């Protein structure tokens, strides 16, 4: 079995419900995974928007999740709720989940949730590391990766 990431509120290549965007409650969606390879010592999860006008926009990074963790409930992270695991600084400037919030009228954007199974129990990243920096550190210890892509569009 290979590493697989899924959500009970949206399937791969489907729309992300408004509740998990800046137009809703702006908290993280429920995410679940299975199929971690042998030797997994931790997980990192990153989410970004490669369709942002200024280039890829980092929305969330959470890392150093123990290997027995296979689920993050909806609302695990938001402006008002911190994850019990370390979080990178998103491109909104917060160390938390920042939901999809594309410019109105810009068309649908892809939000890539990537789960990285790692061969280390702890990423060595600086306090306040950006989402992309967390992902780069995680990729240096990568055993397996799973992706879930959701779409969101704000009408103009």
Q: Which CATH number fits domain 4-147: 3.40.50.2300, 3.10.620.30, 3.90.280.10, 2.40.37.10?
A: 3.90.280.10
Q: Is the pTM of this model over 0.85?
A: yes
Residue 23: how many CB atoms within 10 A of its CB?
A: 14
Confidence of residue 4 (pLDDT cuts 50, 70, 90): very high
* Percent of the chain as helix, strand, coil, to the nearest 5: 10, 35, 60
Close Cβ partners of 49 (under 8 Å, ≥ 6 residues apart): 56, 57, 59, 100, 102, 109, 110, 111, 112
Residue 138: how many CB atoms within 10 A of its CB?
A: 27
- What are the structural domain ranges in the chain? 4-147
Question: What is the tens place of the pLDDT at every residue in 116-150?
Answer: 999 999 999 998 999 999 999 999 999 999 999 99
* Percent share of the chain, pLDDT over 90: 96
């Amino acid at each position: 079995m290979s590493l697989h990431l899924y959500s009970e509120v949206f399937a791969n290549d489907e729309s992300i419900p408004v509740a998990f965007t800046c137009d809703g409650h702006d908290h993280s969606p429920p995410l679940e995974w299975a199929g971690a390879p042998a030797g997994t010592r931790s997980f990192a999860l990153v989410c970004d928007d490669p369709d942002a006008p200024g280039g890829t926009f980092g929305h969330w990074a959470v890392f150093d999740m123990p290997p027995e963790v296979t689920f993050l409930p909806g609302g695990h992270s938001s402006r008002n709720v911190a994850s019990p695991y370390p979080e990178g600084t998103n491109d909104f400037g917060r160390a938390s989940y920042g939901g999809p919030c594309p410019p109105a009228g810009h068309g649908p954007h892809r939000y890539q949730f990537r789960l990285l199974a790692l061969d280390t129990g702890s990423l060595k990243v600086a306090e306040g590391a950006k989402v992309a920096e967390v992902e780069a550190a995680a990729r240096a210890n990568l055993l397996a990766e799973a992706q879930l892509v959701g779409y969101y569009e704000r009408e103009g």
